[in-house]
């Protein structure tokens, strides 16, 4: 199959090896998140904070004792992130283009603006734009790196 995602410039057929975070780091991040949710629940006065507090404690204990037990969760979390990337990134970029960039371009074109000077002008001898004041001499660009 040449490209199962018709119209996509990106080939998602290949298998790429992504390095997931360490199991301990995964547990610490989730433990920290559940701790923040627990504190928020205490401040607001919610009734669900003990569940999140318990989850935070479980993640912290597992992070420092046997983080390898969280490997399947870490792997699933990484795969979910890759799936979200494959779906959300093109959608967000498409929305950004069609809702921001294209209307601005159409508005500029309707107002007669041509910032890239794409209109052909047969009367012009050259499309070169002279720089005033002139830039640095060509000798200053010899050893750039």
pLDDT value, residue 46? 84
Of 60, 53, 58, 61, nearest in space to 34 by CA = 53
Provide the pLDDT for residue 7: 58
pLDDT digits (tens, 9 = 90+) for 50-94: 999 999 999 999 999 999 999 999 999 998 988 898 899 999 999
pLDDT digit string (tens) for 10-42?
Answer: 666 666 676 778 999 999 999 999 999 999 999
pLDDT at 12: 61
Give the pTM.
0.59
> In the predicted model, is pLDDT for residue 5 greater than 70?
no
Which segments within 32-124 are labelled E, that is strand?
Answer: none
Distance CA 22, CA 134 (A): 55
CB atoms within 10 A of CB 44: 8
Give me the pLDDT at residue 82, please.
87
Model pLDDT, residue 139: 78
Q: What is the pLDDT of residue 1?
A: 46
Task: Give 24-28's long-range contacts (Cβ < 8 A, gap of 24+).
Answer: 24/63, 24/64, 24/67, 26/67, 26/70, 26/73, 26/74, 26/77, 27/59, 27/60, 27/62, 27/63, 27/67, 27/70, 28/59, 28/60, 28/63
């Amino acid at each position: 199959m040449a490209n199962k995602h018709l119209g996509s410039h990106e080939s998602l057929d290949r298998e790429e090896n992504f390095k997931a975070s360490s199991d301990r780091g995964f547990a610490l991040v989730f433990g920290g998140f559940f701790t923040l949710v627990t504190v928020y629940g205490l401040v607001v006065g919610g009734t669900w904070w003990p569940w999140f507090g318990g989850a935070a404690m479980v993640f912290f204990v597992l992070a420092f004792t046997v983080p390898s037990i969280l490997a399947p969760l870490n792997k699933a979390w990484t795969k979910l992130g890759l799936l979200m990337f494959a779906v959300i990134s093109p959608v967000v970029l498409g929305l950004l283009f069609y809702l921001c960039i294209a209307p601005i371009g159409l508005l500029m074109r309707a107002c007669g603006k041509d910032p890239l000077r794409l209109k052909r002008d047969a009367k012009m001898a050259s499309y070169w734009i002279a720089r005033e004041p002139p830039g640095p001499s060509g000798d200053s660009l010899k050893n750039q790196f």
